[in-house]
Structure formats: structure tokens, C-alpha cells
Amino acid sequence: MCFGDEVPEHPTHLGFVDPHCYVEDRIKEAFENAQFLCEGYYLTSPSLELRCINAINPDEPICVAYVPSHLYHIMFELFKNSMRATVESAENKKSSNTLSPITVDIIKAKEDLTIRISDRGGGIPRSKADKIFRYMYSTAPRPVSLTDSQHSGPVPLAGFGYGLPISRLYARYFNGDMEIHSIDGYGTDAYVYFQAVEDQASEWLPICNRAAYEYYTSRRYQSDWTKKK
């Protein structure tokens, strides 16, 4: 059925949701675009090692009902961070000619679809690990605005401070999640979880009613006793 004079760009989509979103294709697309930025900025980039494990139907590609643009954004941001860490770590070790690959594991089970991105980019110290999901926080230097007349270099990979927070927000939107586990001095593993069963991937929305409004407006926040001098 066609509404209007034009055929939809994605006729199989239900709004923004693709009932059969092929995860591997979106991941490869995100990696290629992140690699393009990485090579433009650092003149080099790590390779990709991808492994897919479908525990339900081993002979079928892994697909899930999801928003393709959300999946792309999550993977694109994680790839950019891993590439930056890998290249800069190799430069510090004077071994830029042998970049460690970024490995991705996609596993679909009965309940969860899990994506793990692993790099050997030196890791994140624990003193900074609690800050990585804060908006406007970044370990990279603050980039020059793209609209600034002084900006004439390549597009930066990081530094704006909203890539990871928004990515986790996207992951949690349909009852998924995202976690970052790092070993300082070695590398970082990022885990992205999605609901493998469509019925469980319900849209998560905040409760906005009179009771919630009164709860938040009537609360009196007290200072933590541990912070008293």
C-alpha cells in the first residue's frame, strides 16, 4: 500500500523500526565510516575482526527488531573511541606500524543480543571511568567548532563529550543497556545489550503524571553527610 505519490525509502520499516535489522551490516557500515574519519585525522586506522554467533539459528544471519539509525550511532561512537585509543596508544609506544585490530563479537541468544567491542588502546584509569558517561566530559582536547573560521583541519574523532551518554540512552530505549569495562594499561571492552525477543523490547518512557510531578517538586535535597568538612 502506498500513501502519497512516492514509494517509501525503506518499505519494510514500521516507522523508524526495522523488524529485520541485520546487525552485521549496520556494524560494518559504522566501522567503515569511523575508519574514514580516523584515516583522515591520523592517516592510519586499525582493522576489524568480526565474529557472529547465532545460538538460536546458527545458519541464519543475526537480525533483530530495532531502529537501524540508533544501532549505527551506538557502534559509530564506540568505534571512534576505540580507533582513537588504539592509534594514540601505538604512537606513544612507538609501534604505529602494528596497530592492534578492533574485535567485535555479536552473540544472539534466547533473551539477549550482545555486542562486544574490544580494543587494546591502553584502557581507561579508574579515576576517569566513572566520568565517561557524563555529558560534556571527554578525555580528548576540546575541538574547534566546525563553524569557526579558524577550523581548517580534518574532522575530529572525539572531544565533544556527548557520544557515549547518548549512545547508552539509545541502548536503553528499548530495554537494552551499554557497559564499559576497561583495564588500565591494556584495553577496553564495550558491551551493548539488546532484547532478542521483540515482545520484550518495549519502549521505555519516563512517567509524567501529577504524582511524579509532585514527587520531584516537593523533594528537599540535603547535602551528603560524607561531604561535610
Q: Which residues of 21-46 are buried (b: 16+ CB within 10 A; e: fewer)?
A: bebeebbeebbeebbebbeebbebbb
Say how many C-beta atoms besides its own lie within 10 A of residue 71's C-beta.
25
The grid coordinates listed for 164 are: 557515549
User: 88 catalytic, yes or no?
Assistant: no
User: 60 catalytic, yes or no?
Assistant: no
> 81, 151, 175, 209: which is the annotated catalytic residue?
81
> 28, 32, 60, 77: which is the annotated catalytic residue?
77
Alpha-carbon distance of 114 to 74, in angstroms, equals 13
User: 80 catalytic, yes or no?
Assistant: yes
Which residues neighbour 173 within 8 Å (Cβ) at sequence distance 6 or greater? Answer: 67, 70, 203, 204
- Among 196, 212, 195, which Cα is nearest to 204's? 195
> 57, 80, 97, 175: which is the annotated catalytic residue?
80
Q: Give catalytic residue positions.
A: 73, 77, 80-81
